[in-house]
Amino acid sequence: MSTVLKIGSIIFFFTSYDCYEPTHIHVVNGRKECKYRLRGDDQIILADNSGVSRNELLKLRQIIRMNFQLIKKSCDEHCQNTSKKDTKSNRQADTFAEMPVFEKIVFDSNSISFKLSDNRIITIPLAWIPKLESADNAIREDYILRGHFAFWERIDEISGVSNLLNGSIVPK
């Protein structure tokens, strides 16, 4: 997951799996989320909306328009080594659609457990997510679940199911 832009509580991001779709940007603000497709040099098309008002959509579109080249460049650079014709990669994109989503998150003193929709529970040390490790319980419990992602807005932290399943969350 790559955050391209953050304005207050509004997060503009894309994920590695987005490389297999036409260029677009996800926007999350609290429990509201939308997705815009970016075409050509200036076309911004609403592709999905969950709870964002018409006025907010217009403001978000303006922000995207003002940052259009930055967003496109960030997406292109991130995806430049990803071949859409790679069959292994296409299988990974298909798998993402079937991937379980977050249902619940539970903290204890040294670990965080993610309950997934397929009834798996993945527990990792809090030390693997330093921002959460140093946060107090009130901040840890103040998360938002949006499908494959968990957001902690107050500390600008995002975790994804794919990161947990493929091991990329493990510190190097």
CATH placement of domain 99-166: 3.30.2020.40
pTM above 0.75, yes or no: no
Question: Torsions phi, psi of 99, nearest 5?
Answer: -65, 145
Coil vs helix vs strand at 77: helix
- Give per-residue pLDDT as tens, 134-169: 999 999 999 988 778 888 888 878 888 877 877 777
Close Cβ partners of 74 (under 8 Å, ≥ 6 residues apart): 2, 4, 14
- Give per-residue pLDDT as tens, 24-63: 899 998 888 898 988 887 889 888 888 889 999 999 999 9
The structural domains of the chain, with segments of one domain joined by +, span: 2-97, 99-166
pLDDT at residue 98 greater than cutoff 90:
no
